[in-house]
Structure 1
Amino acid sequence: MIAFEYAVLRVVPRVERAEFVNAGVIVYSQKAGYLDAATHVDADRLRALDSEADVDAIAAAVEAYAHATDPEAAGPVGATAIGERFRWLTAPRSTVVQTGPVHAGLTDDPAAELDRLLRRLVL
């Protein structure tokens, strides 16, 4: 078993209301050298919180988090160590796309854990 950390990506369409919809998961394991994200933006859930939400713009912002886990697609942040990138991605923000608190666990397979967490917490 190896240790991993994860954070849920959430969309807060109206920040002043503090209501959110889970839209993805970021998983990091230092020991496995693993950092990846999986996303899914549910337009109907978003519109239930804000009928005027710009779903396309929000989906693009959520997808940007997933791209930032890929060193080839992440631009300058891709040159940082994966631990630094995970901390940068999970730093608190008061924007429409935010990460929840970082949680830890043990797994044999970080990629399988990412899939499990996406199914359990987002889909």
Structure 2
Amino acid sequence: MTSFSYQYVVLRCVPRVDREEFLNVGVVLYCQATDYLDVSWDVDRDRLAAFAPQLDFDQVCDALAFVEGVCAGDRRGGAAAGHPIGQRFGFLKAPKSTVLQPGPVHGGVTEDPPADLARLRKRLVGVG
């Protein structure tokens, strides 16, 4: 089988930027060779409420739905969704001072990008 390199970022819920505390909620994986860009996420309402009781759960899910739209290139991703796939990943991996932030970019090698995305989400987000 052919192996392809990929890059990924872990999406973090950061309720208070000043405290620098976060909870991993998703993973975005980009594989240029296969033209693959997708996100897998899972937010446990009880876990998030215990971590940040003041945080609006729906706001976090809306931000993750926006990321889904950017990955898919559809209207949910706004203007960013209209760009080529590599630029969309660049937009998603850029640092932000919002409730949803990407962690550092990491890389790997895969024969099956969707399977590795699922594996990474299970290992790094740990719910669902």
1:50: Cα distance to partner? 1.6
TM-score by length of 1: 0.93
User: 1:113 & 1:6 partners in 2: Cα distance?
Assistant: 10
Alignment of 1:1-123 (within 5 A): 1-73=3-75, 74-122=77-125, 123=127
With 36-45 and 91-100 compared, the bigger mean Cα shift is at 36-45
Q: What per-residue deviation string (whole Å, max 9, x for no partner) do you get for residues 30-61 of structure 1?
A: 11110001111122222222211111111111
With 73-82 and 63-72 compared, the bigger mean Cα shift is at 73-82
User: 1:75 & 1:47 partners in 2: Cα distance?
Assistant: 29
User: 1:75 & 1:90 partners in 2: Cα distance?
Assistant: 16
User: 1:88 & 1:63 partners in 2: Cα distance?
Assistant: 15
Identity in percent: 45
User: 1:107 & 1:95 partners in 2: Cα distance?
Assistant: 31
Structure 1 residues not aligned, in runs of 5+: none
1:17: Cα distance to partner? 1.2
**1:31 partner SS:** helix
User: 1:66 & 1:121 partners in 2: Cα distance?
Assistant: 18
Q: By percentage of residues, which structure has more helix?
A: 2
Structure 2 residues not aligned, in runs of 5+: none
User: Is the contact between residue 4 and residue 105 of structure 1 (CA under 8 Å) also seen in structure 2?
Assistant: yes
User: Is the contact between residue 39 and residue 63 of structure 1 (CA under 8 Å) also seen in structure 2?
Assistant: no
